[in-house]
């Protein structure tokens, strides 16, 4: 399958994520959209990794080209998991304090 | 005494003693104790400085220079040295402090321990600037001298002190940062990657690079001196600072700028100096006439003296760039002269203000009847300030003008117009403050007290000694001059 | 000998220190004794020096190194030769007489002020001695500015009066303008010759070709200095105002000594001037123009001291004319005789003012002949001397200058003659209005009229004798061969110039004719003046037309005020309030304000809305993405 298909899919996912973050006010949905963007990047990383491996293995089938891309993905997943735990905790605290998960109530940062 | 077995050197003593004494005074309780102790400390510093004049000979070299291990990773060592120019300016600093403390002895400051402590810290910074042989150390003390002055002026100053000192600080600090950028640039182009003065002198810089860095250095020094058009912080700051601080600022601190030119700018960037000499001398000369004209219409004594100081400093700056032995020798002696003369004038202004509560020339008059001693001493100091022969400033200005004339007769003629203007504003001031009939304000004036009269007399004696017998000064500063000129001619 | 040389100026200096520092405690009589005594000692020493020089023992006496920087060596040393020893005698001799006179004249002052007065006078003598004794231009310049300072201090001696301090200030500033020229000339000479010692400068200049730009420039600048100090066009207006000082001061500083410093300087540097004919022309023309201008003003003045002041300016003009035409000896001669008779005139005027209780307007005088016999006789002798009646001293010296001018160009002579006729006229107008006719002052003044004490008349008598016989030091060739003692005495000083100048020898017959014409015309003018003013009556009629212009001194003061003083003040005001406050400081503050303002605007971006932050982030990311695409 052509690499373009993966790129289109990843771009679409990423854009959905961006638009979701920009337009929605619900913190949980924003959170999910952030995850969507992360996963769009993960998808790309895996796709390119595979592509590099295939082109390089034609010349040398013991090659390890492209493996670093896959390793990045694991890093991102680990970080995302950590982020989720912290992020959700923040959202829970937010709900406890202001009884809402609407981010527009969170405008005290400017002070 | 064997010069090889040196325990402590003069630069160290001169530098650390005021610093330590400043810290001690800061820790003292409130009250007159701080005042008296700082007076004692400053007299000790003066003594050290005087003693150092006995060891100027080449064989005492180990006594006059020192280098500590400081930041070897980046090639900077804590190097200090007393050469001719440095010695003269250290002496000026050491001499000025007791004079300032004594003449402002009757002035009351709140939190005197902090005030005097900061004053002594400033002294240490100033001496550091005059002794530093390493660019980083120089920069360090350059800033160390600035920061306490900011607090001194902004805590103990006049009504608009916050505004004035804020401007002063931002202005000079901008200059300092430019200087830092310049220093780092030159450092990166030294052959052995050190901050030492001598590697700066031998740095590999193309003419174009020099021209660029020149402005970084020059603007920093020009703000400090100050040179037209970078001068507008000065009258405000002088006006708003307490007199003791004004004396430090105008008597010593502005010399940092001139000194910076002589030690750190001209020998490091000889090609750029040749390239921009007309620009700088032109600016200086325009500034002299400009400042003298403005001084004519000032009503506040402090502002008048501030503008007159700008004119005098402009002359020194022009002479530094004139590339002549006479000019540079004149600048070295004139820095000292200007320091003591202007401190003398500030002393008089301070006394008038303390006694009569005003500095407005238009509100004064007839003081010569009420305080003849003060009037006589002021007339002498003021005439020294306009360089009458047999006073110290004549020697300096004569040499400076002579050096400038070698550079260009036209600039000299223009600059000399400010001599006439100086006579105009000085005589106006004397006439309006001291002559004429007394008015309701001055009718109650008394003559000055003994300690002030003695301090002013010391200044007057110094004025005449240097004015009649300047030769020892020339011998002292000769090494600096030769060094300076050789660097400049090497850049041809 | 060398000790004496240094003691000559030092003794008045010690007098200055004693009177100046001891001011609060010293009594009046001791102040006067210290003041006059120090000058007397100095005078005696000067006589010894003079005799030594006459026997050929002059020379340069080194003190110590003053300035030595690189190749520039300026020693503090004194030169005693024919010219300086002659001036030494004039300065200390007349100085002593005037000190004695002052002791009586100033007796109404408080002790502290009295001591201050003598301190200033002694300081003046010290500075003047420095000026003439210096063996290089720097020492000369020290004295040059020093006498200017003393003149300032003494004009403003009564410092409570604002007019007087204004006059003092004006004198100092105008002198400073001249000093500027002097100073620039010094630097030029250093550049040209590498030294400022008289001997070396003149010998180096002597080997230069005539009429070079450098020499012309140097001499013109020096001459600018001379116009300031010696009150010539364009810097003469301070001298009449300087009459605000006490009268003995006017006699000493503003007539006999200080104002002749310019002549001394040019005579000293005669080699330079001889080699710069252009400058010589300028000197002659300016001198003559000043002589005429001042004489016309003097015709209409009514203040006794103002008349004498303008007459001084005019006589100084003659001296410069003499210098300009190369008649150096004649000019120095005129300096000497002028010192005698002009000091005498001022002291006489002082005696009159003293007698009339500080009345200075001659319209309120008259008929003083019978009240002040000694003053009257001496004053008359001085008038005859200044008018140029033989055999009084002024005749010989002025004649020498005019003959010198004729040799140069007859026009100079005829114009100069007109000036000297005016001199005769205004001097005898002054004499007639003061001493002849009836007393026109108030009755009370008349009651108090009295001859001055001996301390005041004694100097008058001495000076009168000198004014009468002083001329015989320089009897011209015309009357007796080798009778011109002064010329022979001074010839070593002007030796080099003499050889460089084309010889002029006027036939004796022409000289006789010119002399005859001069004398006859002068006598006619004297007679006219006496006839016209001997029975002067006060009138209330205002002067009109040309007379009014003369009475207002050609409006020169007003002119200077309008073209220099006022524009300078306006310009300064403009710089201060417009350029400085709004311009430069405005830019500095403007930068500060701009930073402040833009920070405030940028702060609005920080709204606290999470969405807004994210939007900015995305926009920025897109922005960089696009840049990345296009900029490759």
Q: How many CB atoms lie within 10 A of CB C358?
A: 8
The CA distance from B163 to B174, in Å, is 17
pLDDT of B3? 59
Confidence tier at B492 by pLDDT (50, 70, 90): very low
> B455 pLDDT band (50/70/90 cuts)?
confident
CA-to-CA dists, residue C282 to B261, C220, C273, C276, C295, angstroms:
44, 8, 11, 10, 20
Domain boundary assignment for chain A: 3-110
Looking at CATH, the fold of the domain delimited by A3-110 is given as Helix Hairpins (1.10.287)
- Closest residue by Cα to residue C218 from C200, C232, C236, C205: C205
Residue with tokens 């009504």: B159
C-alpha to C-alpha distance for B38 and B34, rounded to whole angstroms:
6
The total number of residues written for chain A in this structure: 111
Q: What is the pLDDT of residue B285?
A: 94
E strand map for B74-158? 76-81
- Name, in order, each residue with C-beta under 8 angstroms of C116's C-beta and a sequence gap of 6 or more: C19, C20, C23, C157
The contacts found for A81-88 with CB under 8 angstroms, 24 or more apart, are: A84/A31, A84/A35, A87/A31, A88/A31
The gap from C-alpha C6 to its chain's centroid, in whole angstroms, comes to 25
What are the Cα distances from residue C61, in Å, to C77, C129, C492?
A: 5, 14, 18
Beta partners for residue C69, in sequence order: C72
Task: State whether B420 and C176 contact (CB < 8 Å).
Answer: yes
**Under a CB-based contact definition with an 8 Å cutoff, are residues B40 and B101 in contact?**
no
B280, B283, C141 from C184: Cα distances, Å? 21, 21, 12
Sorted by where each begins, the domain ranges of chain C are 213-227+257-539, 560-630
Total residues belonging to chain C: 632
Cα C233 versus chain centre, distance: 12
Q: Going by beta carbons, is chain A in contact with chain C, meaning 3 or more pairs sit under 8 Å apart?
A: yes
Tell me, what's the pLDDT at A111?
53
The answer to whether the Cβ–Cβ distance between A103 and C610 falls below 8 Å is yes
Token pair 């140097």 is found at: C218
More confident residue, C45 or B110: C45
Report yes or no on B3 lying in a domain. no
A91 and C CB contact within 8 Å: no
d(CA C596, CA B391): 48
Q: Which helix (H) or strand (E) holds B67?
A: strand B65-71
Given a cut of 60, whether residue B476 has pLDDT beyond it is yes
Give B5: exposed, middle or buried? Use CB within 10 Å, 0-12, 13-18, 19+: exposed
**Nearest neighbour of C608 by CB, restricted to A21, A25, A108:** A108
In sign, the C-alpha dihedral spanning C391, C397, C401, C404 is: positive
Question: pLDDT tens, position by position, for chain A (111 residues)?
Answer: 788 999 999 999 999 998 998 888 888 998 899 999 999 999 999 999 999 998 888 888 888 888 889 999 999 999 999 999 999 999 999 899 888 888 877 776 655
* Vertex A98 angle, CA A95 and A102, to 5°: 70
Between vectors from CA C325 to CA C328 and to CA C473, what angle results, nearest 5°? 35
Report residue C547 as tokens.
């007379």
A21 touches chain C (CB under 8 A): yes
Calpha distance C437→C424 (Å, rounded): 19
pLDDT of residue B94: 93
Pick from A18, A106, A111: which is nearest to C610 by CB? Answer: A106
Q: Do B167 and C589 touch (CB under 8 A)?
A: yes
Longest dimension (CA), chain C: 118
Average pLDDT score, chain B: 88
What is the tens place of the pLDDT at every residue in B168-204?
998 889 999 999 999 999 999 888 888 888 888 888 8
Contact C420, C288 (CB under 8 A): no
- Whole-angstrom Cα distance, residue B14 to residue B46? 9
Tell me the sheet residues that pair with C74: C67
- Structural domain count, chain B: 1
Interface probe with B: pick from C67, C193, C591, most Cβ of B within 10 Å = C67
Whether chain C has a CB inside 8 Å of the CB on B293: the answer is yes
By DSSP bridging, strand C59-69 and strand C72-80 are antiparallel
| Residue B19 contacts C, CB cutoff 8 Å | no
The low-confidence residues of chain C, meaning pLDDT below 50, are none
Per-residue pLDDT, B1: 56
Q: Which chains touch A (3 or more CB pairs under 8 A)?
A: C
Specify the pLDDT at position C153: 92
CA distances from B483 to B64, B477, B486 (A): 17, 10, 5
Predicted confidence at residue B5, as pLDDT, reads: 66
Full residue range of the structural domain in which residue B448 is found? 10-490
pLDDT for position C189: 93
Q: Which residues of C touch A (CB under 8 A)?
A: 606-611, 614-615, 618
For chain B, give me the number of helices (H) and strands (E)? 21, 2
Which of A22, A103, A111 shows the shortest C-beta gap to C618?
A22
How many contacts, defined by CB atoms under 8 Å, are there between A and C? 27
**Residue C206, SS3?**
helix
Instruction: Tell me whether residue B5 is in a domain.
Output: no
Query: How many Å lie between the alpha carbon of C301 and the closest alpha carbon of chain B?
Result: 28
Give me the phi and psi of B67, to 5 degrees please: -145, 125
Decide if B94 is inside a domain: yes
Tell me the percentage of chain B whose pLDDT exceeds 90: 42
CB B80 within 8 A of CB B62: no
Amino acid B491: pLDDT: 46
Which residue in B296, B310, B183, B162 sits closest to B234, CA to CA?
A: B310
pLDDT score of C473: 85
Q: Has residue B346 been placed in a domain?
A: yes
Pair of tokens at residue C582: 């709004």
């Amino acid at each position: 399958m052509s690499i373009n298909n993966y790129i289109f899919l990843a771009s679409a996912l990423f854009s959905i994520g961006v638009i979701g973050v920009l337009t929605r006010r619900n913190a949980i949905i924003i959170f999910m959209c952030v995850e969507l963007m992360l996963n769009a990047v993960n998808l790309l990383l895996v796709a390119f990794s595979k592509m590099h491996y295939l082109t390089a293995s034609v010349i040398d089938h013991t090659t390890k080209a492209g493996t670093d891309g896959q390793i990045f993905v694991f890093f991102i997943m680990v970080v995302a998991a950590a982020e989720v735990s912290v992020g959700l905790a923040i959202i829970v605290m937010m709900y406890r304090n202001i009884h809402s998960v609407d981010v527009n109530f969170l405008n005290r940062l400017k002070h | 005494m064997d010069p090889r077995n040196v325990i402590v050197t003069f630069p160290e003593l001169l530098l650390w003693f005021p610093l330590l004494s400043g810290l001690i005074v800061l820790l003292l309780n409130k009250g007159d104790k701080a005042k008296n102790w700082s007076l004692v400390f400053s007299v000790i510093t003066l003594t050290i400085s005087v003693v150092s004049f006995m060891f100027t000979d080449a064989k005492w070299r180990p006594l006059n220079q020192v280098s500590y291990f400081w930041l070897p990773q980046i090639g900077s060592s804590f190097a200090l040295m007393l050469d001719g120019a440095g010695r003269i300016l250290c002496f000026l600093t050491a001499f000025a402090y007791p004079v300032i403390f004594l003449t402002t002895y009757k002035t009351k400051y709140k939190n005197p321990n902090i005030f005097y402590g900061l004053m002594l810290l400033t002294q240490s910074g100033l001496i550091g600037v005059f002794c530093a042989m390493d660019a980083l150390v120089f920069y360090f003390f350059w800033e160390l001298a600035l920061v306490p002055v900011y607090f001194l002026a902004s805590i103990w100053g006049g009504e608009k002190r916050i505004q004035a000192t804020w401007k002063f600080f931002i202005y000079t600090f901008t200059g300092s940062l430019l200087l830092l950028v310049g220093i780092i640039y030159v450092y990166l182009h030294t052959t052995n990657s050190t901050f030492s003065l001598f590697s700066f002198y031998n740095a590999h810089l193309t003419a174009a690079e020099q021209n660029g860095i020149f402005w970084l250095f020059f603007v920093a020094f020009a703000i400090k001196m100050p040179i037209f058009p970078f001068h507008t912080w000065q009258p405000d700051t002088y006006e708003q600072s307490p007199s003791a601080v004004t004396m430090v600022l105008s008597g010593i601190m502005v010399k940092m700028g001139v000194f910076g030119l002589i030690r750190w700018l001209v020998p490091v960037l000889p090609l750029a100096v040749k390239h921009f000499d007309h620009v700088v001398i032109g600016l200086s000369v325009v500034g002299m006439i400009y400042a003298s004209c403005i001084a004519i219409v000032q009503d506040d004594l402090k502002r008048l003296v501030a503008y007159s100081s700008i004119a005098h400093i402009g002359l020194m700056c022009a002479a530094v760039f004139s590339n002549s032995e006479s000019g540079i020798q004149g600048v070295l002696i004139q820095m000292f002269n200007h320091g003591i003369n202007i401190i003398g004038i500030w002393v008089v202004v301070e006394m008038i203000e303390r006694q009569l509560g005003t500095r407005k020339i238009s509100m004064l008059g007839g003081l010569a009847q009420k305080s003849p001693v003060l009037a006589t001493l002021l007339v002498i100091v003021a005439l020294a300030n306009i360089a009458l022969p047999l006073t110290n400033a004549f020697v300096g200005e004569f040499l400076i003008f002579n050096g400038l004339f070698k550079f260009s007769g036209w600039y000299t003629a223009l600059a000399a117009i400010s001599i006439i203007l100086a006579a105009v504003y000085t005589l106006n001031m004397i006439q309006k403050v001291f002559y004429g009939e007394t008015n309701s304000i001055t009718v109650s004036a008394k003559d000055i007290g003994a300690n002030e009269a003695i301090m002013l007399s010391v200044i007057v004696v110094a004025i005449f000694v240097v004015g009649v017998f300047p030769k020892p000064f020339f011998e002292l500063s000769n090494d600096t001059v030769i060094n300076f000129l050789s660097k400049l001619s090497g850049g041809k | 000998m060398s000790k004496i040389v240094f003691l000559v100026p030092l003794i008045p200096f010690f007098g200055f220190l004693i009177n100046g520092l001891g001011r609060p405690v010293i009594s009046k009589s001791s102040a006067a004794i210290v003041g006059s005594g120090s000058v007397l000692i100095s005078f005696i020493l000067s006589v010894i020096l003079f005799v030594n020089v006459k026997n050929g023992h002059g020379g340069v006496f080194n003190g110590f190194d003053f300035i030595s920087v690189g190749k520039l060596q300026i020693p503090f040393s004194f030169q005693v030769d024919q010219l300086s020893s002659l001036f030494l005698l004039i300065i200390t001799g007349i100085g002593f007489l005037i000190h004695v006179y002052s002791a009586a004249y100033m007796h109404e002052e408080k002790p502290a002020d009295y001591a201050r007065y003598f301190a200033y006078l002694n300081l003046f003598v010290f500075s003047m001695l420095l000026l003439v004794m210096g063996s290089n231009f720097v020492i000369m310049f020290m004295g040059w500015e020093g006498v200017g300072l003393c003149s300032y201090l003494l004009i403003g001696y009564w410092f409570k009066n604002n007019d007087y301090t204004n006059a003092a200030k004006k004198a100092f500033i105008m002198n400073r303008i001249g000093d500027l020229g002097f100073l620039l000339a010094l630097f030029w000479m250093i550049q040209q010759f590498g030294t400022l010692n008289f001997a070396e400068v003149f010998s180096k200049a002597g080997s230069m070709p005539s009429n070079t730009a450098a020499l012309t420039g140097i001499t013109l600048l020096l001459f600018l200095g001379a116009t300031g100090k010696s009150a010539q066009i364009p810097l003469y207006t301070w001298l009449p105002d300087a009459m605000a000082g006490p009268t003995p001061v006017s006699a000493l500083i503003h007539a006999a000594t200080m104002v002749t410093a310019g002549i001394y300087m040019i005579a000293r540097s005669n080699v330079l001037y001889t080699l710069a004919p252009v400058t010589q022309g300028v000197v002659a023309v300016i001198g003559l123009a000043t002589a005429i201008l001042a004489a016309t003003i003097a015709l209409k003045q009514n203040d006794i001291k103002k008349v004498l002041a303008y007459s001084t300016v005019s006589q100084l003009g003659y001296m410069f004319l003499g210098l300009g035409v190369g008649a150096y000896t004649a000019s120095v001669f005129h300096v000497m005789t002028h010192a005698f008779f002009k000091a005498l005139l001022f002291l006489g005027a002082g005696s009159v003012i003293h007698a009339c209780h500080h009345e200075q307007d001659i319209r309120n005088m008259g008929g003083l002949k019978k009240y002040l016999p000694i003053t009257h006789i001496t004053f008359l002798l001085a008038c005859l001397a200044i008018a140029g009646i033989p055999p009084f001293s002024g005749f010989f010296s002025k004649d020498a200058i005019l003959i010198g001018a004729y040799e140069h160009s007859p026009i100079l002579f005829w114009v100069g003659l007109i000036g000297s006729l005016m001199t005769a006229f205004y001097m005898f107008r002054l004499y007639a209005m003061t001493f002849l006719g009836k007393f026109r002052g108030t009755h009370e003044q008349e009651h108090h009229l009295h001859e001055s004490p001996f301390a005041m008349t004694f100097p008058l008598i001495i000076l009168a004798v000198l004014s009468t016989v002083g001329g015989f030091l320089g009897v011209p060739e015309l009357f007796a061969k080798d009778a011109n003692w002064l010329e022979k005495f001074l010839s070593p000083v002007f030796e080099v110039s003499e050889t460089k100048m084309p010889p002029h020898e006027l036939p004796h017959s022409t000289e006789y004719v010119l002399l005859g014409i001069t004398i006859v015309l002068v006598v006619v003018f004297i007679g006219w003046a006496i006839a016209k003013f001997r029975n002067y009556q006060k009138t209330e009629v205002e002067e009109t037309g040309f007379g009014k212009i003369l009475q207002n001194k050609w409006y020169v003061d007003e002119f200077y005020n309008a073209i220099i003083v006022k524009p300078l003040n306006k310009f300064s005001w403009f710089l201060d309030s417009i350029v400085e406050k709004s311009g430069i400081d405005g830019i500095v503050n403007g930068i500060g304000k701009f930073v402040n303002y833009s920070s405030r605007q940028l702060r609005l971006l920080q709204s606290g809305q999470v969405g807004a932050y994210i939007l900015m982030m995305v926009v920025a990311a897109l922005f960089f993405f696009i840049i990345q695409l296009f900029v490759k």
